[in-house]
Each structure stands twice: as structure tokens, then as C-alpha cells.
Amino acid sequence: MRRICSFEVFGTVFVVGVLAALVLPPTCGGHIRGQVRCAHNLAELYRLASTGGDAAALVTSGGWRSLTHTTPMLIAPEEQEVLICPLRKDSEPGDCDYRCSRVPFSKLGPSDPVAADRPGNHGNGMSINVLFKDGSVMEVDLDDPRWKRWNELLGP
């Protein structure tokens, strides 16, 4: 009878681990990667809105898409994918998948939302990302009690 040495066990575990690492990310990580990219898009929009002045006023009055019509353009045509949630299946060029605050940026408190996904961006009934004035992005469930108040501060 042959004894199995620890090197053979380690080698087998290593090979199985490498194979799992190659197979699992494409099948299991797509939604998580999309959520992270969505949060990154919101953070980019925050950087634009927090420049103050005209940018913040435009966002409150005309939504995020208004930043594509400024001179100079704050969101150039080749950068407009920042307005699209990577998890939304039916977005088209020219769409904007993010809501912005109805309240002027200067009047928002640090824990007030500046922007959020449109419900359904991540799938029906799924959580959404909310961007706050302090620059943080938080994933929240639609049944979260805080969401009701935040939802009232956001435009259509």
C-alpha cells in the first residue's frame, strides 16, 4: 500500500484552487463587479458636483445629464458611460441611470443623499447604491427604513 505524502496533497489542493479561481470569478463575481463599478460611477459624479458653483446648481435643476451640456463640458461624450449603471440591462447611450437630489447641494447635510441608482438598476427588488454629500457610497435595500426618507430627497 502506497502512502500519500503531504506534497501530493498540497499539489492537488493547489491545482484545484487555481482551477476554481479561474472558473468562479466569471460566473459568480459579475454582479459584485457591476455593483463596485456602479459605486465608482456615483463617486465620479460626486467629484463633479462637489466642484461647487455652476456644476452643483445644474445638477439640482437639470439632473446629471446637464453636465454634458456645459462649456467646457464637465462630462465629455467619451466619458458619458459614467451616467450608466453597469448592472442595468436596458440602458442606451444618452440615458442617465442615476437620480440626483432635489435639494440644492449647498443645503444638504453630510448624511443626505446627493444621488442614487434608479430602482431596478441592479434588478427588480435588488439593493441600490446611494451617494452621500460626504462622498461615501452605501448599498441599501429598498425596504431599509432610511431609504423612504432619502427617496423623498431625490428627484425622478
Question: Tens digit of pLDDT for each residue in 80-122?
Answer: 899 999 998 888 878 899 998 888 878 888 888 989 999 889 9
Specify the pLDDT at position 63. 80
Nearest to 106 by CA among 146, 70, 68, 133: 133
| The three grid cell numbers given for residue 46, joined into one nine-digit string | 460626486
Question: Tens digit of pLDDT for each residue in 61-85?
Answer: 678 888 888 777 788 888 889 999 9
25: helix, strand or coil: helix
Predicted structure pTM score: 0.74
Q: Are 139 and 129 in contact (CB under 8 A)?
A: yes
For the chain, domain boundaries: 37-153
